[in-house]
């Protein structure tokens, strides 16, 4: 993938996750600082974890644009949250977009840094779910990845598409688009139809 294409995916995912973080903060009645903190945390935590594991300085730490994108998304959400909330399932949509973009970006970065297929898929999943986990933990909520409809599974599918395309020497950019679309569609269908992984039956021993 070209540097411009990677940057585009990264900033789009950053903005989408920042919106989801800001909306969660607003729903928990946090103040402006809290909204901005959750926006930044949701937008960057997955990428920071990914880059640290790749022995890289996290891009969001050295590039002011990540902070700027996160703060702009947070301010938009803080100022116009009523309008944003009127959109259909706004948190879930923005979260699904961020999940999709970061899953393929994480897998692509891992492959570019010499990781094998398994490591690339795992870092793709981590990139996608990391921001949402930190966002939910900061408001004392069970992370979505642990109980929501096919969350990490959708990230797995998106990352897997990128890894398989790389193994077959297919063009990286179309593979990333296909992976992101596959992840988003699976996540959205899971939300709409209530697809979940099996859960313990009520009354089962813990």
Task: Please answer whether residues 107 and 120 qualify as being in contact, where contact means their C-beta atoms are separated by less than 8 angstroms.
Answer: yes
DSSP 58: -
Q: Is residue 206 part of a domain?
A: no
- Pairwise pLDDT comparison (4 vs 60), residue with the higher score: 60
Dihedrals phi, psi of 5, to nearest 5 degrees:
-65, -40
What's the pLDDT at 89? Answer: 64
Task: Round to whole Å and give the CA distance between 159 and 122.
Answer: 8
Q: Is residue 115 part of a domain?
A: yes
Burial (CB count <10 Å: 0-12, 13-18, 19+), residue 181 = middle
Task: Round to whole Å and give the CA distance between 36 and 71.
Answer: 6
pLDDT at 199 over 90: no
Tally the domains of the chain: 1
What's the pLDDT at 88? Answer: 56
Q: Is residue 200 part of a domain?
A: no
Q: Is residue 198 part of a domain?
A: no
In tens, the pLDDT along 142-161 reads: 988 888 778 899 999 999 99
Task: Round to whole Å and give the CA distance between 129 and 103.
Answer: 8
Q: Is residue 28 part of a domain?
A: yes
Candidates 102, 97, 88, 190; CA nearest to 148 is 190
This prediction's pTM: 0.87
Q: How confident is the model at residue 5 (pLDDT cuts 50, 70, 90)?
A: confident
Which domain covers residue 158, as residue numbers?
3-193
Q: Is residue 51 part of a domain?
A: yes
Mean pLDDT of 129-148: 89
Query: Which helix or strand (DSSP H or E) is residue 52 part of?
Result: helix 32-53
Q: How confident is the model at residue 203 (pLDDT cuts 50, 70, 90)?
A: low
Q: Is residue 205 part of a domain?
A: no
Q: Is residue 181 part of a domain?
A: yes
pLDDT at 130 over 70: yes
């Amino acid at each position: 993938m070209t540097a411009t294409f990677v940057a585009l995916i990264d900033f789009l995912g950053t903005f989408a996750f920042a919106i989801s973080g800001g909306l969660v903060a607003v729903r928990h009645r946090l103040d402006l600082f809290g909204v901005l903190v959750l926006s930044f945390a949701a937008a960057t935590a997955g990428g920071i974890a990914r880059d640290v594991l790749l022995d890289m300085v996290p891009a969001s730490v050295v590039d002011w644009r990540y902070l700027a994108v996160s703060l702009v998304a947070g301010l938009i959400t803080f100022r116009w949250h009523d309008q944003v909330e009127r959109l259909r399932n706004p948190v879930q949509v923005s979260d699904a977009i961020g999940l999709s973009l970061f899953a393929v970006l994480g897998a692509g970065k891992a492959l570019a840094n010499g990781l094998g297929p398994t490591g690339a898929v795992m870092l793709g999943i981590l990139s996608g779910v990391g921001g949402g986990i930190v966002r939910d933990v900061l408001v004392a909520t069970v992370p979505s990845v642990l109980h929501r409809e096919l969350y990490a599974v959708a990230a797995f599918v998106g990352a897997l598409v990128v890894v398989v395309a790389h193994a077959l020497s297919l063009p990286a950019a179309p593979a990333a688009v296909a992976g992101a679309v596959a992840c988003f569609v699976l996540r959205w269908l899971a939300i709409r139809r209530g697809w979940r992984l099996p859960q313990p039956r009520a009354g089962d021993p813990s």
